[in-house]
Amino acid sequence: MTGTTKDPDDSEAPAAAAVTLAVCTTCRAGLPVPEDGLVPGARMFAALSAADLPEGVRLRGVECLSACARGCALALCADGRWTYVYGDLDPEADVGAILEGAAAYAAAPDGIVPWRARPVIFRKQSIARIPPLET
Ligand code: FES
């Protein structure tokens, strides 16, 4: 798996990823800050940065998703799809499940992944789902 996609019209140029996995890099809630000062949100972003992203998914670090009481938090979004915000994530242990959920989201044209196809953390730790913008 890779985080880049190829444009079928130009095999040399990577196409923009359709799905954004936005990770709050400033989250502190729920976990202690270690002596190195790297907050849990930054640790989760680093762990995801080191992983192979699913096809069509790009990673974006953001400062605060306004889900601070439920940090670590992330959002999955794309044009024309529902946006989902998840919280209470473990910055290291949940990386595999986050990538699994991002891949399922990328494969769902409207962003709605069947309940049973979602990783447990996405079933139980959803904070919000936001409808796609109407155009
Ligand atoms: S600091 Fe992460 S959601 Fe606010």
Residue 84 burial (10 A CB sphere; 0-12, 13-18, 19+) = buried
Q: Tell me which residue of 13, 88, 20 sits closest to 53, measured CA to CA.
A: 20
- Ligand 1 binding site (Cβ under 6 Å of any ligand atom): 24, 26-27, 41, 64-68, 71, 73
Residue-wise pLDDT for 23-49, tens only, equals 999 998 776 777 778 899 999 999 999
CA-closest residue to ligand 1 atom 2: 27
d(CA 74, CA 9): 32
> What band does 16 get if pLDDT is binned at 50, 70 and 90?
low
- Domains belonging to the chain, first-starting first, are 5-130 (3.40.30.10)
Distance 7 CA to ligand 1 centre (A): 34
Residue-wise pLDDT for 63-105, tens only, equals 999 999 998 999 999 999 999 999 999 999 999 999 999 999 9
DSSP 52: P
Residue-wise pLDDT for 42-68, tens only, equals 999 999 999 999 999 999 999 999 999
Distance 23 CA to ligand 1 centre (A): 9
